[in-house]
Amino acid sequence: MVSLQDPDQELIQRCRSGDQPAFDQLVLKYRNRVMGIATRMLGDRVEAEDLAQDVFVKVYHGLQGFQGEALFSTWLYRIAANSCLNQIRKRKRESQVAVSADDPEPNISDGKSNPHTLLEKKELNSFLEKAIHALPQEQRMVLILRDIEGLSYEEIADSLELELGTVRSRLHRARLEVRASVKEKFDLGVE
């Protein structure tokens, strides 16, 4: 039974009935989130995409067993997080390579930003990605889920099967680390 508050309830029901398009919609909705988690955790885009595809294959086969005790997104992130952590353990090393050359285009929200600002922003983003990738994997995962994916503390605790206090402490330490790295190079401009 799927939670009544789950926005994906209908799609899940249709998927269980064998509705292929419903599954496709789920994939299209969450694919970039899973891709972002995998890329920032593994540090390699190709490997991350392959892992992201595997995550959705697992979701496809596991939908019949999904009881709806949590939101679908929580369940999805749990699969993604565990897959990433397993992959890292399997490799027994962390890639020092940041996001590859074909970085996505910056999300320009202010049409009035001058090129110098854009360049700095691009450089800043790249530096941030590296700083995040330099974090320990436990802190990294929490930071990504909270500050990039926007999950709540409870959702993160459910997805990673952690205590709330653990989530808070790991998140805080991760933020402080990233801030320290950025402050060395960039002026964070506190008025």
Residue 106 binds to another protein (criterion: CB under 8 A)? yes
Q: Which CB, 92 or 180, lies closer to another protein?
A: 180
Q: Which CB, 92 or 151, lies closer to another protein?
A: 151
Least Å from the CB of residue 4 to another protein: 26
Q: Which CB, 24 or 163, lies closer to another protein?
A: 24
Residue 75 binds to another protein (criterion: CB under 8 A)? no
Residue 21 binds to another protein (criterion: CB under 8 A)? no
Residue 39 binds to another protein (criterion: CB under 8 A)? yes
Q: Are 34 and 76 in contact (CB under 8 A)?
A: yes
Q: What is the binding site for another protein (CB under 8 A)?
A: 24, 27-28, 31-32, 35-36, 39-40, 45, 48-49, 52-54, 56-57, 60-61, 99, 103-107, 124-125, 128-129, 132, 143, 146-148, 150, 153, 168, 171-172, 175-176, 178-179, 182-183, 188-190
